[in-house]
Amino acid sequence: MIHLWKGYLGRWVDICEESINLKIFRSILTIGSVHFLVSFVAVGKDLFIANQFGTGDEMDAFLIANLLPTLVINIVTGAFHVAFIPEFIKVREQQGRAAASALLSNILAWYLLLLLSLCVVMVFFSSVILPLLGTSFNSEKLFLSRNLFLLFVPTVIFYGVIKACGSILNAGEHFFLPSFSPVIIPLLSMLALLGFGGHFGIYALAAGILAGIILEAIVLVSGLRSQGYLFLPRLGKMSEATKNIIQQFSPMILGLLLVSGTAFVDQAMAATIGPGSVSTLNYGSKVVQFILGLSTVSLSTAIFPHFSKMVAEESWRNIINTLKMYSALILLVTIPVTTVLFIYSEPLIRLVFERGAFLPKDTVVVGKVQGLYLLQIPFYILGILFVRMLSALKKNHVLMTIGGLNFIANIIGNYIFMEYWGVAGIGLSTSIVYVISTLLSFLALYQQLKARESMAGEVNV
């Protein structure tokens, strides 16, 4: 076993030395280290919230109120980032900074108008949507959810500003500020609870989050000014570049809707089980999300440009060797880690969360949810490898199809496993969905590489 590890490690070092330049490595180091710090603070916020509210009705109402704004943020701002950056860089390089600034002002106006329209729609339909999301909520709990929801709606606009500024800074290879600024939100959330939680309860937490988002937007707008760009939306005639961005933006919405919709469906279905179920599901996924966030950010950032370069060079042998190497390393690391975490899931929850309002009985239930969520780790990380390769091959329509199948499988799995394991069944369903997703991504990638092998006559998989 030791010789196997040494062999893979030696080959991995050789690949890194030959294929990844120092500039990319520094970017990975910056993003990874800062992301760890921000995630550490965010975990501290979650522990503080767990101590204050446990899995009670206030936390259920809080999570349901934040569910729809978060979904809109993830879908719209994520699609904007993917659609905007390539066109912005193209205009900047070919036409200069003045043309890029004009494009920025024009697209920001349409982008913010879209976000504002979505906020109006959410508020208008909130009296219908919230009861559907919180089907087991009584009238008092629904009233609390609606009040918190109205506090969260403006976050959609400010998160849009944050994402736009971060995208522009990243396009100029300024990674530190967009990576570090999210630390503001958990810090202000904890300060708000410390200062006002005793009087205002869950409202203090919601207000702290809103204040943190506004402050982060201000910081990033200031950072944008330091790079020579002004955040000045101007709703004028659409340029050709603006039309190109909108054309790319539309299909991305569907793909991200399918991806983000999984978490949305999970929490909505958990709300049908009974009081505390949404909170239990939320706490049960925290450690898993932390691990996946740390492990996939650096991997996806580093591997995508590397794969894209090899595809452009039609270096299929190197692609297959790299896929085999990274797949083996991922499995060698994640399977033992996942096994240990699964065995000690309940003690881990006890260590992390059990204090204050988070009681021993909560630890038992949340530990079961977390244990089943943990099973996804090897497949999720391995899936990232395959997804990045498919994107480098420009087969995003394949990923959209897989996303649609995952969405359907997740709903079916939730219904089946909730019958036997309650809220923990949602965790099991999620893990199984990622097993299916990774398998489908592998099969699609295998077919793509075999087709190119046949055309190039270069490799034999």
- Six token digits for residue 193: 């609870």
The proportion of the chain whose per-residue pLDDT surpasses 90, expressed as a percent, equals: 14
Residue holding tokens 């918190």?
A: 148
Distances 53 to 56, 192, 451 between C-alpha atoms, Å: 6, 14, 55
pLDDT at residue 178, rounded to an integer: 80
Number of H-type helices and E-type strands within the chain: 17, 0
Mean pLDDT (whole number) for 4-9: 52
pLDDT at residue 431, rounded to an integer: 92
Residue holding tokens 């880690």?
A: 337
CB 299 within 8 Å of CB 380: no
Indicate the Cα dihedral angle 338, 339, 341, 346, nearest 10°: 130
- Report the distance separating Cα 282 and Cα 77, nearest Å: 23
CB count in 10 Å sphere of residue 54 = 21
For 92-121, letters b (16+ CB in 10 Å) and e give: beeeeeeebbbbbbbbbbbbbeebeebbee
- Where exactly are the structural domains of the chain? 1-51+276-461, 57-251
Does residue 13 have a pLDDT over 70? no
Task: Say which residue, 148 or 44, is predicted with more confidence.
Answer: 148
User: What does the pLDDT look like over 373-412, one tens digit per residue?
Assistant: 999 999 999 988 887 777 667 676 777 788 888 888 989 9
Amino acid, res. 453: E
User: What does the pLDDT look like over 128-148, one tens digit per residue?
Assistant: 888 887 777 778 888 888 889
Task: Say which residue, 241 or 205, is predicted with more confidence.
Answer: 205
- Six token digits for residue 392: 């480098």
pLDDT at residue 246, rounded to an integer: 80
pLDDT at residue 212, rounded to an integer: 92
Mean pLDDT (whole number) for 70-87: 76
Mean pLDDT (whole number) for 156-173: 82
Does residue 116 have a pLDDT over 90? yes
Highest mean pLDDT among 33-37, 344-348, 352-356: 344-348
Mean pLDDT (whole number) for 4-13: 51
Amino acid, res. 120: V
Counting Cβ atoms within 10 Å, is residue 144 exposed (0-12), middle (13-18) or buried (19+)?
buried
The proportion of the chain whose per-residue pLDDT surpasses 70, expressed as a percent, equals: 83
User: What does the pLDDT look like over 173-191, one tens digit per residue?
Assistant: 677 788 888 889 889 988 9
- Six token digits for residue 260: 């983000």
In which band, very low, low, confident or very high, does the pLDDT at 47 lie, cut at 50, 70 and 90? confident
CB 228 within 8 Å of CB 78: no
User: What does the pLDDT look like over 243-272, one tens digit per residue?
Assistant: 877 876 776 677 667 766 677 788 778 888
Q: What angle do CA 33, 37, 42 make, to 5 degrees?
A: 140
pLDDT at residue 377, rounded to an integer: 93
Amino acid, res. 353: F
Cα separation of the two ends of the chain: 25
pLDDT at residue 29, rounded to an integer: 67
Nearest alpha-carbon partner for 277 in 99, 451, 133: 133
Q: What angle do CA 414, 415, 418 make, to 5 degrees?
A: 70
- Report the distance separating Cα 51 and Cα 48, nearest Å: 5
Residue holding tokens 């990274």?
A: 326
User: What does the pLDDT look like over 214-249, one tens digit per residue?
Assistant: 999 999 989 888 777 777 788 777 778 788 778 767
- Report the distance separating Cα 100 and Cα 90, nearest Å: 9
- Report the distance separating Cα 382 and Cα 331, nearest Å: 8
pLDDT at residue 18, rounded to an integer: 46
Task: Say which residue, 250 or 204, is predicted with more confidence.
Answer: 204
Nearest alpha-carbon partner for 153 in 185, 119, 115: 119
CB 244 within 8 Å of CB 87: yes
Task: Say which residue, 135 or 429, is predicted with more confidence.
Answer: 429
Average pLDDT for the chain:
80
- Six token digits for residue 456: 């190039």
Distances 456 to 77, 177, 451 between C-alpha atoms, Å: 39, 44, 9
pLDDT at residue 457, rounded to an integer: 54
pLDDT at residue 96, rounded to an integer: 80
- Six token digits for residue 261: 């919709």
